[in-house]
């Protein structure tokens, strides 16, 4: 790295609150590492910024100062240096935006643990992956948390935020279990009784003096009356759809009979109100289309012909506008449109190969981290034994022993959790990606198998705006920027077919822009 000599840098170090205790990750050790690197390469450090803050975005106090400083002194600064890419941010899109900002100031963002030579075109791709991997990792972690909540729920233990009238608590095994709030729970009980009597409306209840302490609002009152947790039950969701009610472990505030009576009362009253339009499988694009004549949102409905056949149409508000077309035609044209997203097989394979390679590198650092954690746990366990010995020897008393012991136990369980998380990160990202790319490439076939929610999710991740159907074709829709880019690149690649075989840089750019976003969407909707 000859070219680094004589260059100037500012540095940025960051820890999250949980990481702070982890040896090897502290601010000081990050700083030392960077100083050593700069020393070795003849880089002069102009200013060091350190962030003791955990945040998902760039709303970090020290980071803001850094940007201000960089802007003011841009002429003198060549590099912004971090230890690793995930120190910078675990959100890929934000990283890319911030990196662009520094590039605009002619400041190069780089990381000493994975120094990239940006004069090499292939580095753009690697860099995109550098920034994407921490995010993928984050998402696996949050999936882990969701799984944990689901498991607790299955056992009847409600672990999310307590609804009004419940407070935090512990059961006899010292596990979290909410309990009725002494002050508010009798009021809630009364509220259910009042409402189910059928005499008092929700609006009246909102005004009643005695319910003031509950700080009710229109929306939280109706939610409250529908919440089965008050009756000591819990709703289990499976596949986001199937609903099953089970007995929960927490103490109820009302009886199940009272709850059921309340539901009947609620249903009775809502029957008088207008029903919202239900999803109709024959009209999946309802809500996703805009009128090409007047710009209003289109709706859809079926009508029976003289011969008794039922036909479905999308149409504008008939009072204002006569726009109307057959639903089947709109569906068929949409599938045709999706066919445009078919990816070239060579490009698909190349992308997967590149990702696989990068994944292996990441895998190695994961193993390193696992070893590190295992050693740390061993050390704490040892310390804990020493502590016991010291207590036996009478060096200190029971109080200190208990306090220290609790701290060790907490540290051990923290590290064990971290370890579990690491081990839990699925080993088949490649499989996921391969599968997702295949799917993305055959959207026209895939959409048939999506349910309503997944279909809407997919549509909104592909299109930026509602679609307009005019003279039997779709007006060129506004695509999500990353999808748009792939689509454009695909067309270029098709034109230059013979040249594409080993043009890594083309693919690199493509992947950079694509930024794993559509894949994430597909993963999100359950593929």
Binding site for Zn ion (CB under 5 A): 291, 293-294, 296, 316, 321, 323
CB of 354 to Zn ion, least distance (A): 47
CB of 292 to Zn ion, least distance (A): 8
Kindly tell me which of 98 and 323 has the beta carbon lying closer to Zn ion. Answer: 323
Kindly tell me which of 145 and 294 has the beta carbon lying closer to Zn ion. Answer: 294
C-alpha to C-alpha distance for 100 and 94, rounded to whole angstroms: 10
Closest C-alpha to 352, from 523, 130, 135, 125:
125
C-alpha to C-alpha distance for 490 and 199, rounded to whole angstroms: 65
Closest C-alpha to 291, from 310, 263, 319, 270:
319
Kindly tell me which of 324 and 431 has the beta carbon lying closer to Zn ion. Answer: 324
The CB density around residue 63, as the number of other CB atoms within 10 Å, is 20
C-alpha to C-alpha distance for 86 and 371, rounded to whole angstroms: 19
- Note whether 497 and 415 are within 8 A (CB): no
C-alpha to C-alpha distance for 510 and 487, rounded to whole angstroms: 10
CB of 333 to Zn ion, least distance (A): 19
Phi/psi of residue 109, nearest 5 degrees: -85, 130
CB of 305 to Zn ion, least distance (A): 23
Return the exposure string of 363-402: e unless at least 16 CB atoms fall within 10 Å of the residue's CB, then b.
eeeeeebeebbeebbeebeeebeebeeebeeeeeeeeebe
According to DSSP, the β-strands at 467-470 and 289-290 are: parallel
CA angle 37, 38, 43 (to 5 degrees): 155
CB of 455 to Zn ion, least distance (A): 24
C-alpha to C-alpha distance for 249 and 153, rounded to whole angstroms: 10
CB of 326 to Zn ion, least distance (A): 16
CB of 288 to Zn ion, least distance (A): 15
Closest C-alpha to 67, from 93, 102, 92:
102
DSSP H helices, 393-503, are: 398-424, 429-440, 443-446, 452-462, 481-495
CB of 171 to Zn ion, least distance (A): 59
Kindly tell me which of 121 and 318 has the beta carbon lying closer to Zn ion. Answer: 318
According to DSSP, the β-strands at 310-315 and 324-326 are: antiparallel
Please name every residue paired with 469 in a beta bridge, in sequence order, or none if there are none. Answer: 474
Kindly tell me which of 138 and 299 has the beta carbon lying closer to Zn ion. Answer: 299
What's the number of CA atoms in the CB half-sphere (13 Å) around residue 327?
19
C-alpha to C-alpha distance for 147 and 434, rounded to whole angstroms: 24
CB of 287 to Zn ion, least distance (A): 15
Structure tokens at 143: 């999936």
CB of 467 to Zn ion, least distance (A): 14
- Note whether 314 and 324 are within 8 A (CB): yes
Phi/psi of residue 92, nearest 5 degrees: -65, -45
CB within 8 A of 345, min separation 6: which ones? Answer: none
CB of 322 to Zn ion, least distance (A): 8
The CB density around residue 470, as the number of other CB atoms within 10 Å, is 12
Kindly tell me which of 129 and 467 has the beta carbon lying closer to Zn ion. Answer: 467
Kindly tell me which of 316 and 355 has the beta carbon lying closer to Zn ion. Answer: 316
CB of 298 to Zn ion, least distance (A): 7
Say which residue the tokens 């008050």 belong to. 230
Kindly tell me which of 226 and 293 has the beta carbon lying closer to Zn ion. Answer: 293
Q: 467: part of which helix (H) or strand (E)?
A: strand 467-470
Kindly tell me which of 16 and 317 has the beta carbon lying closer to Zn ion. Answer: 317
CB of 293 to Zn ion, least distance (A): 4
C-alpha to C-alpha distance for 54 and 79, rounded to whole angstroms: 24
CB of 286 to Zn ion, least distance (A): 15
Kindly tell me which of 49 and 314 has the beta carbon lying closer to Zn ion. Answer: 314
3-state secondary structure of 470: strand
Kindly tell me which of 321 and 369 has the beta carbon lying closer to Zn ion. Answer: 321
Say which residue the tokens 């009004």 belong to. 164
Please name every residue paired with 176 in a beta bridge, in sequence order, or none if there are none. Answer: 170
Kindly tell me which of 7 and 290 has the beta carbon lying closer to Zn ion. Answer: 290
Kindly tell me which of 94 and 321 has the beta carbon lying closer to Zn ion. Answer: 321
Kindly tell me which of 296 and 365 has the beta carbon lying closer to Zn ion. Answer: 296
């Amino acid at each position: 790295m000859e070219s680094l000599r004589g260059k100037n840098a500012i540095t940025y170090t960051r820890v999250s609150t949980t990481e702070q205790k982890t040896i090897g990750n502290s601010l000081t050790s990050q700083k030392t590492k960077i100083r050593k690197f700069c020393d070795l390469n003849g880089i002069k450090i102009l200013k060091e910024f350190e962030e003791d803050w955990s945040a998902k975005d760039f709303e970090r106090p020290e980071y803001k100062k850094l940007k201000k400083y960089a802007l003011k002194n841009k002429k003198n600064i060549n590099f912004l240096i971090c230890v690793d890419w995930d120190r910078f941010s675990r959100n890929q899109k934000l990283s890319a935006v911030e990196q662009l900002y520094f590039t605009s100031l002619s400041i190069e963002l780089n990381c000493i643990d994975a120094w990239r030579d940006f004069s090499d075109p292939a580095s753009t791709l690697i860099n995109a992956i550098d920034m994407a991997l921490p995010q993928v990792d984050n998402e696996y972690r949050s999936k882990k948390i969701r799984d944990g909540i689901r498991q607790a729920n299955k056992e009847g233990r409600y672990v999310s935020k307590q609804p009004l009238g419940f407070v935090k608590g512990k059961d006899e095994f010292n596990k979290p279990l909410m309990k009725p709030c002494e002050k508010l729970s009798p009021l809630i009980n009364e509220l259910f009784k009042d409402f189910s009597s059928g005499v008092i409306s929700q609006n009246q209840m909102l005004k009643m003096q005695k319910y003031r302490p509950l700080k009710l609002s229109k929306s939280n009152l109706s939610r409250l009356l529908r919440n089965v947790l008050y009756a000591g039950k819990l709703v289990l969701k499976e596949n986001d759809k199937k609903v099953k009610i089970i007995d929960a472990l927490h103490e109820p505030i009302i009886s199940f009979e009272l709850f059921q009576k309340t539901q009947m009362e609620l249903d009775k009253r809502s029957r008088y109100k207008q029903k919202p339009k239900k999803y109709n499988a024959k009209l999946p694009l309802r809500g996703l289309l805009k009128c090409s004549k007047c710009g209003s949102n289109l709706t859809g409905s079926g009508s029976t012909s003289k011969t008794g056949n039922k036909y479905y149409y999308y149409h504008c508000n008939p009072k204002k506008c006569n726009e109307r077309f057959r639903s089947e035609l709109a569906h068929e044209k949409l599938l045709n449109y999706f066919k445009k997203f078919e990816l070239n097989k060579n490009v698909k394979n190349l992308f997967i190969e590149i990702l696989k390679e990068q994944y292996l590198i990441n895998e190695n650092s994961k193993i390193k981290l696992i070893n590190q954690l295992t050693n740390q746990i061993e050390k704490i366990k040892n310390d804990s034994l020493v502590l016991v010995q010291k207590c036996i020897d009478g060096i200190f008393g029971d109080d200190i022993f208990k306090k220290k012991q609790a701290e060790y136990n907490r540290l051990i369980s923290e590290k064990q959790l971290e370890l579990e998380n690491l081990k839990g990160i699925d080993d088949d990202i490649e499989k996921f990606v391969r599968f997702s790319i295949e799917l993305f490439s055959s959207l026209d076939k895939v959409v048939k198998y999506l349910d309503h929610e997944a279909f809407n999710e997919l549509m909104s991740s592909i299109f930026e705006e509602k679609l307009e159907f005019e003279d039997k074709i779709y007006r060129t829709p506004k695509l999500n920027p990353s999808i748009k880019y792939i689509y454009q690149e695909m067309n270029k690649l098709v034109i230059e077919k013979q040249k594409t075989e080993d043009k890594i840089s083309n693919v690199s750019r493509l992947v950079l822009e694509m930024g794993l976003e559509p894949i994430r969407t597909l993963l999100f909707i359950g593929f």
